[in-house]
Amino acid sequence: MNLWWLYLPSDTCSFTEITRRQCVAIGWSELGPLDKYIKDKPNWERQFKSYIQVKGDLAYSTTPRWKEKDREFDQIPDIFWRMLQINRGDLIVAVESGSELTLGRTVIRGIGRASQDALTSYEYEAGNHHAHTVCPDTRWFAWDRFKMGELHMPTHSFRTLCIENNQLETALDGWKKGVEEIRATKAS
């Protein structure tokens, strides 16, 4: 089991939206569907990342930052690769910034548990800014630090998605408390 951190800029995809959609989602919708590039075979990471880079070069050809190979865009193939490494049962912490709710700060909003392996559940949902989705039917809970414990942002900066397991035990305990609270509410 791993602990993933998913960054959501509230202006394009909020925690409320992924909770409603019940998935893990990332942006760059202009890349279009990627399912024909996703293969479950040894040593395909480099080939997959090359496809993403080429599709990005085409999709964002008029974006000056992409042409300049801005550090932000260089990381996109890695981000898509990481997304496909999420496995059933992994925990995902949703981090959101920029909303009125967060007063512009970056805060931990919730936690979800992957319902399926990302590699076999990828879908492209046209019409959504965060169109690249995995793990449909992921159940999300709002993170309540008073009931679930204190989580701290990852020790290293990240863009969109990263893995950092040093708080896995706290996250798992919090997840279990969220499930227990839902069960207790349904029972009463």
Residue numbers of the domain that contains 176: 3-187
pLDDT score for 80: 92
pLDDT score for 145: 87
Q: What percent of the chain has pLDDT over 90?
A: 43
pLDDT score for 93: 96
Bridge partners of residue 93, in order along the sequence: 5, 111
* 141 and 133 Cβ atoms separated by less than 8 Å: no
Alpha-carbon dihedral 134, 42, 156, 87, rounded to 10 degrees? 40
pLDDT score for 65: 53
Say which residues have a Cβ less than 8 Å from residue 143's Cβ, sequence separation at least 6: 93, 108, 109, 110, 111, 151, 174
59-73, 124-138, 140-154: segment of lowest average pLDDT: 59-73
Residue 63 confidence (pLDDT) above 70 = no
* 5 and 161 Cβ atoms separated by less than 8 Å: yes
> Per-residue pLDDT tens for 137-160?
999 999 988 888 889 888 877 778
26-30, 36-40, 62-66: segment of lowest average pLDDT: 62-66
How many structural domains is the chain composed of? Answer: 1
Task: Report the distance separating Cα 35 and Cα 182, nearest Å.
Answer: 35
> Per-residue pLDDT tens for 104-127?
567 889 999 999 999 999 999 999
Bridge partners of residue 108, in order along the sequence: 95
pLDDT score for 19: 93
